[in-house]
């Protein structure tokens, strides 16, 4: 199964998180030692969760606004942080 | 006397914590700072139905006790009783968003490890109900081994039940030894697994997120329309500050003027009458009339915050912030700085990274704070014709908006330059939450509005009264000789100092009166207008006495001179309290010095350019 990086997703894409790993990040200088990973996890990212891309920012499609599972709140993140999240795409309009 | 119970209020960001705090304590609140560190300590007081006095300590919102920012560190330290000289926490009140249970439950699991008794307020129950999030709360209470109370903080619902639960908990508050330790990514995954199990056990139905929020977001976060709406909204804020708030302001101005004339008239020709009338009443009065404008801008900020739009604004601005090397979250402190740089600088505490936080602190004073409104309003209404453009926009409003805009552009430029030269280093992750839209609660809005009003009036009552008196003294003494040819003020200390410093500011087109007024303005910007008033009034210009400062300026100042002073005020470091707060927040004298120096250089250069360019163009 092909995995797609959250940073490369289009609007309305839906996927299941397969891996959260900061070694996948574009810019690895961004804080090291599991820090980004821990922060993503604290904001609700977790392997197995369903992610839906809701909105993309105006400039360079950044930041990315997503919903995790059926949570009532939305998480916005920049591409670099999003690139630590790998998804298995399940829907694509 | 019975013991006062200390309760810590903890919760995720955006779960209604402030609303619950306001509901429980009403106006019985006190804001101070933790000794040594610079995090705001917000205490409130309430009495339970059983007559137990409680202190409620509002702690910064957090997702975990792992403390990534100075704010979150305080939450952990208070919960764990790690702060010296602070009374120990007896009970933790954990508030949780019922529509976002998993984030809240992870925090509760951590809090339980503090060994302290916990009560859970399951907030936003109304939204949870309509959205179909149903849980077996008895089961949840059993699993967590603590009381779970349903609340709708913003509508004051469930508050009595919460008080009863607190009363029930008070007789047996037992502290167990704490077992908490910092968790890494693996640890957070374990919390996730635990929470998933809990939710599986208590779930009746899993709701669906607000469709309404999604629909609104489709417009408000739209790449083109969203941006346009944000700009229009910001513009509207400034237009209403300039037009609607002007009506009560003018009314207050009239009252102050009458009062002043009345008092001066009571003691004709006496020094005392002059001190009370020209010193205190004129000084405080010219400042107090800006209360409606400060309330207007604060109202907008509270409303934007409480509806959930503020986070959307941060989303829209994130890329622009990012290109200046700033965190998306920096937008919120910067917007607060429009009211006053001090709360803005304090709001930077939510920014995790030290360098990001420093840069945000250093550019916050470039946001046009409300204390600059007096001088802006005075100069704009004196020098810019009150015309309407395109049928509905006031030209004066547009000029005001551009002044704000120039401040913003330069703030971003300064941040960009600082990031390149002084704060190289690792990039920071930028992750934030966009809460679903809500209708703000009236009580909460009122409490949040009273705060800046109180702060402003307190300043007016203390700093500004004393500056006015000192200024009156300096501009009245030494008294002019009997055979004086020049107006009395030329012989006073202010006159002497103004004339002495005048050559430095002459290239900017400032008259010596302006230079003299800049001096007291160092303590608080809003004083400049009253200082100008006092100085001109005492220079004996008939115009100033009869028609007020505005008319005098529009008659005798050139456009270049006014524009130069306006530009000076966009950049000038004219506020001692801001510098003091920067020193406190950065815990070093270095940063306020850097802030002061870069601002004064920028102000001088820009005012010089503007004065000379306009002078040449007008010839």
ipTM of the complex: 0.92
CA distance B103 to B113: 16
B147 and B118 together in one domain: yes
B94 and B163 together in one domain: yes
DSSP string of B135-201, one letter each residue? E-HHHHHHHHTS-EEE-BGGGTBTHHHHHHHHHHHGGG--PPPP------HHHHHHHHHHHHHHHHH
B280 and B301 together in one domain: no
B384 and B256 together in one domain: no
Comparing alpha-carbon positions, the chain A residue that sits nearest to B130 is A72
Asked whether residue B214 is domain-assigned, the answer is no
Residues of B in contact with A30 (CB under 8 A): 426-429
B393 and B508 together in one domain: no
Which residues are CB-contacts of B541 (< 8 A; sequence separation ≥ 6)? B487, B552
Contact at CB, A59 and B328, closer than 8 angstroms = no
Tokens standing for residue B577: 């309290």
A90 min Cα distance to partner chain B (Å): 19
What's residue B286's pLDDT?
66
B432 min Cα distance to partner chain A (Å): 5
B383 and B493 together in one domain: no
With a cut of 70, say whether residue B39 has pLDDT above it: no
What's residue B231's pLDDT?
87
Predicted confidence (pLDDT) per residue in B46-70, tens digit: 999 999 999 999 988 889 998 777 7
B591 and B450 together in one domain: yes
With a cut of 60, say whether residue B36 has pLDDT above it: no
pLDDT band for position B580 (cuts 50, 70, 90): confident
Asked whether residue B221 is domain-assigned, the answer is no
With a cut of 90, say whether residue B32 has pLDDT above it: no
What's residue B107's pLDDT?
94
Residue at a domain's end among B421, B450, B479: B421
What's residue B541's pLDDT?
52
Q: Are B52 and B5 in contact (CB under 8 A)?
A: yes
Mean predicted confidence (pLDDT) in B478-486? 71
Q: List the domain range (segments joined by +) for residue A78.
A: 4-91
With a cut of 60, say whether residue A93 has pLDDT above it: no
Asked whether residue B211 is domain-assigned, the answer is no
B277 and B316 together in one domain: no
What's residue B83's pLDDT?
80
Mean predicted confidence (pLDDT) in B120-133? 91
**Residue B320 vs residue B67, higher pLDDT:** B320
What's residue B160's pLDDT?
94
**Residue B417 vs residue B580, higher pLDDT:** B417
pLDDT band for position B454 (cuts 50, 70, 90): confident
Closest partner residue to B100 (CB to CB) among A40, A41, A71 is: A71
B531 and B410 together in one domain: no
Number of domains in chain B: 3
Predicted confidence (pLDDT) per residue in B499-555, tens digit: 888 999 999 988 888 888 887 776 667 677 777 877 776 565 554 455 567 777 777
- pLDDT above 90 as % of chain B: 26
Put simply, the chain B residues between 202 and 261 with a CB less than 8 A from any chain A CB are 206-210, 213-214, 217-218, 221, 223-224, 226-227
Q: Are A64 and A12 in contact (CB under 8 A)?
A: no
Which CATH number fits the domain that encloses residue B81? Answer: 3.40.50.300
Tokens standing for residue A54: 């809701």
A61 min Cα distance to partner chain B (Å): 9
CA distance A39 to A37: 5
Mean predicted confidence (pLDDT) in B116-120? 94
Q: List the domain range (segments joined by +) for residue B471.
A: 250-284+441-618
Number of domains in chain A: 1
B124 and B187 together in one domain: yes
B71 and B165 together in one domain: yes
Comparing alpha-carbon positions, the chain A residue that sits nearest to B124 is A72
Put simply, the chain B residues between 379 and 418 with a CB less than 8 A from any chain A CB are none
Which CATH number fits the domain that encloses residue A11? Answer: 2.30.30.90
The 8-class DSSP code of residue B526 comes to T
**Residue B349 vs residue B314, higher pLDDT:** B314
Mean predicted confidence (pLDDT) in B24-50? 75
What's residue B576's pLDDT?
72
Comparing alpha-carbon positions, the chain A residue that sits nearest to B313 is A57
Asked whether residue B426 is domain-assigned, the answer is no
Mean per-residue pLDDT of chain B: 83
| Phi (first) and psi of residue B373, to 5 degrees | -60, -45
Residue at a domain's end among B421, B451, B481: B421
CB atoms within 10 A of CB B100: 26
B451 and B518 together in one domain: yes
Residue at a domain's end among B393, B421, B449: B421
Predicted confidence (pLDDT) per residue in B370-396, tens digit: 778 778 888 888 888 777 777 777 788
Mean predicted confidence (pLDDT) in B251-260? 82
Contact at CB, B318 and A36, closer than 8 angstroms = no
């Amino acid at each position: 199964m092909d995995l797609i990086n959250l940073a490369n997703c289009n609007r309305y894409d839906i996927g299941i998180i397969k891996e959260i790993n900061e070694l996948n990040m574009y810019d690895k200088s961004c804080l090291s030692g599991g820090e980004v990973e821990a922060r993503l996890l604290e904001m609700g990212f977790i392997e197995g969760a369903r992610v839906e891309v809701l909105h993309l920012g105006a400039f360079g499609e950044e930041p990315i606004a997503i919903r995790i599972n059926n949570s009532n709140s939305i998480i916005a993140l920049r591409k670099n942080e999003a690139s630590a999240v790998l998804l298995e795409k399940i829907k694509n309009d | 006397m019975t013991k006062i119970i200390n309760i810590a209020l903890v919760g995720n960001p955006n779960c209604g914590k402030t609303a619950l705090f306001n509901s429980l304590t009403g106006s019985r609140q006190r804001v101070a700072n933790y000794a040594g560190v610079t995090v705001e300590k917000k205490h409130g007081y309430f009495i339970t139905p059983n007559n137990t006095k409680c202190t409620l300590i509002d702690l910064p919102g957090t997702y975990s006790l792992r403390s990534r920012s100075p704010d979150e560190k305080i939450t952990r330290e208070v919960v764990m009783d790690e702060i010296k000289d602070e009374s120990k926490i007896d009970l933790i009140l954990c508030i949780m968003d019922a529509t976002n249970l998993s984030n809240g439950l992870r925090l509760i699991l951590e809090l339980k490890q503090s060994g302290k008794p916990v009560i859970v307020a399951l907030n936003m129950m109304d939204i949870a109900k309509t959205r179909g999030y149903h849980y077996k709360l008895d089961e949840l209470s059993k699993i967590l081994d603590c009381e779970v109370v349903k609340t709708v903080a913003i509508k004051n619902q469930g508050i009595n039940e919460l008080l009863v639960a607190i009363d029930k908990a008070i007789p047996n508050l037992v502290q167990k030894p704490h077992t908490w330790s910092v968790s890494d990514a693996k640890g957070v995954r374990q919390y996730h697994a635990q929470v998933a199990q809990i939710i599986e056990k208590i779930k009746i139905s899993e709701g669906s997120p607000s469709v309404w929020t999604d629909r609104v977001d489709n417009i408000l976060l739209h790449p083109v329309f969203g941006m346009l709406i944000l700009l229009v909204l910001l513009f509207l804020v400034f237009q209403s500050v300039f037009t609607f708030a002007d009506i009560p302001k003018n009314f207050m101005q009239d009252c102050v003027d009458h009062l002043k004339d009345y008092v001066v008239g009571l003691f004709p020709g006496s020094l005392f009458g002059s001190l009370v009338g020209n010193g205190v009443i004129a000084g405080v009065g010219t400042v107090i009339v800006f209360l409606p404008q400060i309330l207007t801008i604060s109202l907008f900020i509270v409303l934007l915050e409480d509806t959930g739009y503020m986070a959307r604004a941060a989303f829209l601005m994130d890329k622009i912030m990012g290109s200046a090397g700033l965190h998306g979250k920096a937008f919120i402190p910067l917007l607060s700085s429009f009211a006053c740089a001090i709360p803005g600088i304090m709001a930077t505490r939510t920014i995790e990274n030290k360098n990001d936080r420093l840069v945000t602190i250093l550019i916050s004073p470039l946001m046009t704070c409300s204390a600059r409104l007096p001088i802006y309003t005075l100069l704009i209404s004196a020098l810019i014709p009150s015309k309407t453009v395109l049928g509905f926009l006031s030209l004066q409003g547009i000029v005001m908006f551009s002044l704000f805009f120039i401040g913003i552009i330069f703030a971003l430029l300064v941040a960009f330059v600082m990031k390149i030269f002084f704060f190289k280093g690792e990039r920071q992750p930028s992750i934030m939450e966009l809460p679903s839209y809500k209708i703000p609660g009236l009580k909460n809005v009122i409490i949040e509005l009273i705060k800046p009003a109180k702060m402003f009036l307190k300043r007016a009552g203390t700093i500004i009264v004393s500056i006015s008196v000192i200024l009156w003294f300096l501009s009245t003494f030494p008294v002019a000789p009997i055979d004086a040819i020049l107006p009395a003020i030329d012989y006073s200390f202010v006159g002497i100092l103004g004339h002495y410093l005048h050559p430095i500011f002459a290239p900017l087109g400032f008259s010596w009166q302006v230079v003299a007024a800049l001096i007291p303005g160092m303590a608080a910007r809003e004083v400049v207008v009253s200082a100008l008033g006092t100085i001109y009034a005492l220079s004996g210009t008939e115009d100033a006495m009869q028609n007020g400062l505005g008319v005098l300026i529009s008659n005798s100042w050139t456009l270049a001179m006014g524009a130069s002073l306006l530009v000076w005020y966009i950049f000038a470091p004219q506020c001692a309290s801001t510098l003091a707060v920067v020193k406190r927040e950065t815990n070093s004298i270095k940063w306020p010095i850097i802030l002061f120096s870069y601002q004064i250089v920028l102000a001088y250069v820009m005012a010089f350019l503007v004065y000379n360019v306009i002078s040449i163009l007008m010839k």
